[in-house]
Amino acid sequence: MRRSSKTTRSTAIALHRAGDLAAARKQYRTLLARRPNDPDLLGRLAHLALQQNRESEAATLYRRAAAARGDPRVHLRNLNRHLAALIDRSRDGEAQELAAAAMPDWPADTPPTAVERAMLLLLARALLKLGQPGKGARLLEQAVPEPGDDAGLLGLAGRRRLALGDTAAAVPLLERAAVLAPDSPQPLIALGAALTRMGRRHEASAIRDRLVRRFPLHAGRRRDSQMAPILVPNPLPRKIENPEAGLGSLHYRVNFPVQFATDMTDRYRFLSLLETVAEDQHPWQEEGAQLVLNNMVN
């Protein structure tokens, strides 16, 4: 019986990963009839329910999974997915309440797998964003006590230092992260904000210039409901103040197209272009923009 159950679980997970949600849902339900308090199954079915836009069902399943406790690694994986879903749907109050609740420690002497390490990074970032930097830091320190040359861990450690008010200690961590991850805007954004807080204006401006030269185009996420791409030339940011800002918030800051890009993202895919793009490059062309909203002249 145990072997058959394991095979069925593996089959359900394989179906889920392959995108056959209806078949995977049926398999998960069959398994849960045998083990109704299995936090792994509950969490996987909750994740599937979100993919099918069954938000109320997913919330109930995540609560059941949390109450069942069990393996802390499974608990943290479910928590990460639940928080990500709430943040993605702008349900910040619920996300903050969930982040403030008690959560388990990472099990001692259990190095995380590559997948678990990536999950912990996402969870720590979410906790930082939700005002719980200490919780995310504790989990990472338990699971990965030595960040080494991991740009994600170094960048997160630097942003945590900023959240805790230790700006001077944040700067070298963020500088190292920016060197190790030149294709990521996040370390530079946080570094620019840190230098701004310290009053190091010239260095902060240099980071801003480096950022806008490196990332002159920002493309919004593709969605099936979008009808057409819209290109928006935007003015350069004056300075960087929020270490948790995304690249999009540096592109869209002033005037009406900012509101359009927020309120109409389900209907249109917005592309932001800064004037720092090289004259001989046209990175927006392949996106097929059908309309231009010039945000350089209000």
Tens of pLDDT along 41-64? Answer: 999 999 999 999 999 999 999 999
Report the relative pairing of strands 217-219 and 268-274 from DSSP bridges: antiparallel
Please check whether residue 32 is in contact with residue 42, taking contact to mean a CB–CB distance below 8 angstroms: yes
pLDDT category of residue 298 using cuts at 50, 70 and 90: low
Report the relative pairing of strands 268-274 and 228-234 from DSSP bridges: parallel
Please check whether residue 76 is in contact with residue 117, taking contact to mean a CB–CB distance below 8 angstroms: no
CATH number for the domain formed by residue range(s) 1-91: 1.25.40.10
Please check whether residue 180 is in contact with residue 151, taking contact to mean a CB–CB distance below 8 angstroms: yes
Average pLDDT of span 60-74: 93
pLDDT in tens, 78-104: 999 999 999 988 899 999 999 999 999
Domain with CATH 1.25.40.10 in the chain: 1-91
% of the chain exceeding 90 in pLDDT = 64
Query: 125: closest CA among 95, 159, 91, 102?
Result: 159
State the CB neighbour count (10 A cutoff) for residue 148.
8
pLDDT in tens, 233-271: 999 999 999 998 889 989 988 888 788 888 898 899 999
106 versus 282: the higher-pLDDT residue is 106
Q: Is the pLDDT of residue 1 over 50?
A: no
> To the nearest whole number, what is the mean pLDDT of the chain?
90
pLDDT category of residue 4 using cuts at 50, 70 and 90: very low
DSSP 286: G
CA atoms within 13 A on the CB side of 51: 16
Q: Which residues lie across from 271 on neighbouring strands?
A: 219, 231
Query: 269: closest CA among 261, 277, 278?
Result: 261
